[in-house]
Amino acid sequence: MAKFRYRMQNVLDLKMLLETQEKAAYAQAQLKVNEEQEKLQQLLLRRARYEQMLHDAQLGPLDLKEIQRLKNSIMAMKTMIRDQMFVLKKAQTNLEAERRKLDEIMKDRKTHEKLKEKAFETFKQELASEDNKITDELVSFTYHRDQ
């Protein structure tokens, strides 16, 4: 019996390898976004602590140096938060680009898989046709031999 061999199997294997690599790159980009979001959350919490400390310092006995230090710390935190938001936005943009590349590679792989499926169906049809031809010849031979 004939064995099916897809003539572009090496291309399909390469597409699968590329997809695996791109999935890893996408996962790295997602990890980076998560990291940057965590950094932003930490900065926001830190700013909130400074604001609470400033509020407490303004209610108790007034220490102007401490109040000024806390105000400066809050301003520094606001700057760091703004910078972190830019970093996060860049990481999200990179993630989106990786997602688009992954989608494109997945579509390409799926296209090659469909081509393989069609080639296999054609192979099965040719095999069935060959079997029918052999059966017809056998029946015809048997019929003519008996007469």
pLDDT of residue 52: 96
CA 129 to CA 68: how far, in whole Å? Answer: 90
Per-residue confidence in pLDDT tens, the chain, 147 aa: 678 899 999 999 999 999 999 999 999 999 999 999 999 999 999 999 999 999 999 988 888 999 999 999 999 999 999 999 999 999 999 999 999 999 999 999 999 999 999 999 999 999 999 888 888 888 877 777 766
- C-alpha distances (whole Å) from 36 to each of 11, 69, 91 are 37, 27, 8
Residue 43, both tokens = 């900065």
pLDDT of residue 146: 67
pLDDT of residue 144: 73
Torsion of CA 119, 125, 131, 132, to 10 degrees: -160
